[in-house]
Amino acid sequence: MSWQPARYALPDFAELAEKARRSSPETARRSGADAGAVLGAGYEPLGLNDICAQRKLRLSELAAHAEAQRRTARELLSNHDRSLPDDDLAGLVAAREEARHTVAQLSARSSVRPGDGYASEVAIKGGFGRRLRKVGPPFLLLIALLAVDIPIYYQTLLDLGISGLMTAALGVAAVLVFGFGPHLYGRKFREWQEEGTAPRSAREFSLRDWISRPSMMIVLPVLWLVTITAVTWARLQTLVSLAQPVPGDPASVVGPAIVTIGAVPMLILLLTLVIFTGIIAMETGRRMGNPNDRLLKDARAQVRELEERLSAARQRVGEAAQYRNRLTEISDPQKPYEHELIEQIHRGYDLVESSYVTAHLEEFGPVSPDVAARAGDILADHRKAHH
């Protein structure tokens, strides 16, 4: 949309006027006219018709040039599809309104499914204090429980490590699996709550389907529970072995609580600690893993992107309208775009004629002072007759 009519080069009228001024005295001498002829009515200097012919030739060239530009403009106008930028603009407006609706919906309401009761707007813009009140208590409780669980994991895995470093590494791995694994599961569980994909699948599945294709949301907790029970049982066996005296060993018995409380209550106590730790870790993940927060961020970014694209599309629509109006103006013969050029040609050749006639009459000035005053009348008569 950058087409413009080809520029029509106008001559240097000042140079033409100077050239006519230099040639006019010689033409006046060759004409054989005298002062009386100049002062008579209807006198026209010799050579003035040549300048008039140049004017007409220049105007005819301009008319042919303008007609060629009109044909080009009509072709471009017929091929110009005004609906394309308008359709793009309408599509962007619809997409922006949909994104704005999504932002407003996620900002105004809380979770789709039962969650933490906070709107996504609060989760993003509620400030550090509100986020701390939301996540802080379960997080602090999780740290306290891990402080109890870590020694359990360390002592349980103590016999598996060749060195203290390997034992520590195994303990860290156990904490990551049994402590932060439930946290990640809680985030996934929150998505399950918000989107409701698993309940829909559950309604569609039969019991046989659940056995043959069990959901990972159920398989993972079962595996975690089996594994954590095995770790707890191993720790219990270690405590039981430490509580039994070694024949001939004068040292005191380690772990008298096993003898006092019993193995089953101790197993329940240890299992409760590690399971409760996993539940708290899962709850922190569930509170921190609201997928609506991500959806809101994405929707806001989409709104900003669509605003930029919409601004560019509006600019393109405006440019297309200006381009279409310009083509319409150029292609309309009733509104000749070359009108200004025609006026420039007339003004330019009027200057050339005036310079020519003035220089022509200067040849007769010494004979009759009234000759110079005839320049205006001669030009007026000539233009009235020929233009």
Tell me the mean pLDDT in the region 67-82: 81
197 pLDDT band (50/70/90 cuts)?
Answer: low
At 40-73, the pLDDT tens digits run 666 777 778 888 899 999 999 998 998 888 888 8
Q: Is 38 inside a domain boundary?
A: yes
244 & 164 share domain: yes
60 & 159 share domain: no
Beta carbons within 10 angstroms of residue 164's beta carbon: 10
227 & 155 share domain: yes
Q: Is 265 inside a domain boundary?
A: yes
Please check the confidence at residue 190 and state whether its pLDDT lies above 70.
Answer: yes
What is the pLDDT, as a whole number, of residue 221?
83
Tell me the mean pLDDT in the region 357-366: 74
Q: Is 99 inside a domain boundary?
A: no
216 pLDDT band (50/70/90 cuts)?
Answer: confident
139 & 283 share domain: yes
Q: Which domain holds residue 49?
A: 13-90+337-386
204 & 255 share domain: yes
Q: Is 346 inside a domain boundary?
A: yes
250 & 381 share domain: no
84 & 207 share domain: no
Six token digits for residue 217:
């949301």
Q: Is 310 inside a domain boundary?
A: no
What is the pLDDT, as a whole number, of residue 111?
65
Please check the confidence at residue 80 and state whether its pLDDT lies above 80.
Answer: no
What is the pLDDT, as a whole number, of residue 60?
92
144 & 207 share domain: yes
What is the pLDDT, as a whole number, of residue 12?
92
More confident call, 300 vs 149:
300
Task: Indicate the range of 9-18, 123-132, 340-349, 375-384 predicted with least confidence.
Answer: 123-132
φ, ψ for residue 209 (rounded to 5)? -65, -40
More confident call, 121 vs 231:
231
65 & 163 share domain: no
What is the pLDDT, as a whole number, of residue 303?
93
Q: Is 63 inside a domain boundary?
A: yes
Q: Are 174 and 231 in contact (CB under 8 A)?
A: yes
Q: Which of 10-19, 172-181, 225-234, 279-288 has the highest mean pLDDT?
A: 10-19
Please check the confidence at residue 149 and state whether its pLDDT lies above 50.
Answer: yes
What is the pLDDT, as a whole number, of residue 163?
72
Tell me the mean pLDDT in the region 308-313: 89
Q: Is 117 inside a domain boundary?
A: no
- 239-248 LR contacts (CB < 8 Å, sep 24+): 239/266
45 & 193 share domain: no
Please check the confidence at residue 367 and state whether its pLDDT lies above 60.
Answer: no
177 & 284 share domain: yes
Q: Is 329 inside a domain boundary?
A: no
Please check the confidence at residue 305 and state whether its pLDDT lies above 90.
Answer: yes
| Cα–Cα distance list, 370 to 108, 238, 367 (Å) | 95, 139, 9
Tell me the mean pLDDT in the region 207-223: 70
What is the pLDDT, as a whole number, of residue 252?
46
* Cα radius of gyration (the chain): 49
Q: Which residue has the tokens 């000539």?
A: 382
Six token digits for residue 160:
């598996």
What is the pLDDT, as a whole number, of residue 57?
93
* All residues at 6 or more sequence positions from 180 whose CB lies less than 8 Å from its CB, including other chains: 281
* All residues at 6 or more sequence positions from 245 whose CB lies less than 8 Å from its CB, including other chains: 253
What is the pLDDT, as a whole number, of residue 345?
93
58 & 150 share domain: no
Tell me the mean pLDDT in the region 124-128: 65
More confident call, 118 vs 181:
181
